[in-house]
Amino acid sequence: MAEKARFVLAAAAFALLAAAGSAIAQAPSAQTPKKGPAWAELSAEHQQILAPLKDTWLQIAPDRRRNWVALAKRYPKMDPKAQERMQRRMERWAKLTPEQRKQARENYRRISKVPPDKRGDLKQQWSEYQSLPPQERQGAAPQKKKPAPAK
Amino acid sequence: MDNEPQFGNRIRHLLNRGVPLDASVSAKLRAARELALSRQKPEAAQGLVWTGDILGRLGGFSGLSLRLIVPVVTLAIGFAAVYAWQQKQRTAEVEELDALVLTGDLPIDAYLDRGFEAWLKKRASF
């Protein structure tokens, strides 16, 4: 009886403290405003870098906005070609759904795992792939699982 | 001199054999005993005995804090730290991949295409 009570007491104390612990863990993010930085709060430099996103800035989720600010911090260290590409792709990237971005990151990771000597020039491969007839391109896509018959 | 339990035993032994007492003395002893019994406190409530038992087993309140709360707090702080670290890692990873996709050789569409990655792998394996 006493053993059981001791266990219950320990479990209760543990649950309480674990909850307190996770609250502590989230404290840093609670300190920064949950809404994410407003456009006016960005430095002039960051506003200039992120200019393509200005009009849609408010529609971007708070954590994504923080991510953009982090990318703007990297921007000065990029070479001009990379900067130009980022400027050009920013708007499109921001408009994708979170799932699409996740898929793209995953594909990037997979493609970069293919040894460079085997994959050849990626740009060339991409244009070659694009020139394939649609049927052949679709054939390469992983087969979607058949949806379960509706009940 | 004998030690206490032995001394006690000897007294018990003598008493068991019977002590000749006056009737008035035994009456007084009986009355005193009955009075004592009537004033005896009822046993402590079961619940209190139970909690007392737990606290006693854990070494009282000071023991409770040392033997239970300290490791649990340590563990909770450890979990919190690991969780915070993981979140930070994940954010950094997303940031890194975003930068790579945004500045890489291939357009975004190449990474959104369902078939390109598989096609590329298939080619690479030849």
Model ipTM value: 0.71
- Print the domain residue range for B93: 60-126
In this predicted structure, what is the pLDDT of residue A133?
Answer: 84
What number is the average pLDDT over the span B92-110? 95
Of B79, B83, B119, the CB nearest to A129: B119
Residue B68 lies in a domain: yes
Using 50, 70 and 90 to split pLDDT, how confident is the model at B10?
confident
* pLDDT tens track for A4-48: 556 555 555 556 555 655 555 555 444 444 678 999 999 999 999
What number is the average pLDDT over the span B56-60? 59
The answer to whether the CB of A66 falls within 8 A of the CB of A95 is: no
Count Cβ–Cβ pairs < 8 Å, chain A vs chain B. 153
Query: Is A123 in Cβ contact with B80 (below 8 Å)?
Result: no
Contacts within 8 Å (CB) and 24+ apart, A118-124? A118/B124, A118/B125, A119/B120, A119/B123, A119/B124, A122/B105, A122/B106, A122/B110, A123/B105, A123/B106
Query: Is B97 in Cβ contact with A111 (below 8 Å)?
Result: no
Residue B25 lies in a domain: no
Query: Is B111 in Cβ contact with A104 (below 8 Å)?
Result: yes
Name every chain A residue with its beta carbon within 8 A of the beta carbon of B84. Answer: 25, 28
What number is the average pLDDT over the span B11-16? 83
Q: How many domains does chain B have?
A: 1
- On the question of pLDDT at B55 being above 80, the answer is no
- On the question of pLDDT at A140 being above 80, the answer is no
The answer to whether the CB of A61 falls within 8 A of the CB of A36 is: yes
Name every chain A residue with its beta carbon within 8 A of the beta carbon of B122. Answer: 140
In this predicted structure, what is the pLDDT of residue B46?
Answer: 57
Residue B13 lies in a domain: no
Average pLDDT, chain B: 83
Residue B65 lies in a domain: yes
Residue B117 lies in a domain: yes
Q: Which residues of A58-93 are buried (b: 16+ CB within 10 A; e: fewer)?
A: eebeeebbbbbbbbbebbeebeeebbebbeebbeeb
Residue B84 lies in a domain: yes
- On the question of pLDDT at A80 being above 90, the answer is yes
Residue B51 lies in a domain: no
What percent of chain A clears pLDDT 70, i.e. is strictly above it?
Answer: 69
In this predicted structure, what is the pLDDT of residue B75?
Answer: 96
Query: Residue A141 in 3-state DSSP?
Result: coil
Interface test with B, best of A53, A81, A85 (most B CBs within 10 A): A85
Of B76, B81, B121, the CB nearest to A18: B76
CA A37 to chain centre: 18
pTM of this structure: 0.60
Nearest chain A residue (CA) to B112:
A104
Judge whether A11 is closer than 8 Å to chain B, CB to CB: no
Residue B44 lies in a domain: no
Interface of A with B in 28-67 (CB under 8 A): 28-29, 63, 67
In this predicted structure, what is the pLDDT of residue A33?
Answer: 47
The answer to whether the CB of B101 falls within 8 A of the CB of A43 is: no
* pLDDT tens track for A46-73: 999 999 999 999 999 999 999 999 999 9
Judge whether A8 is closer than 8 Å to chain B, CB to CB: no
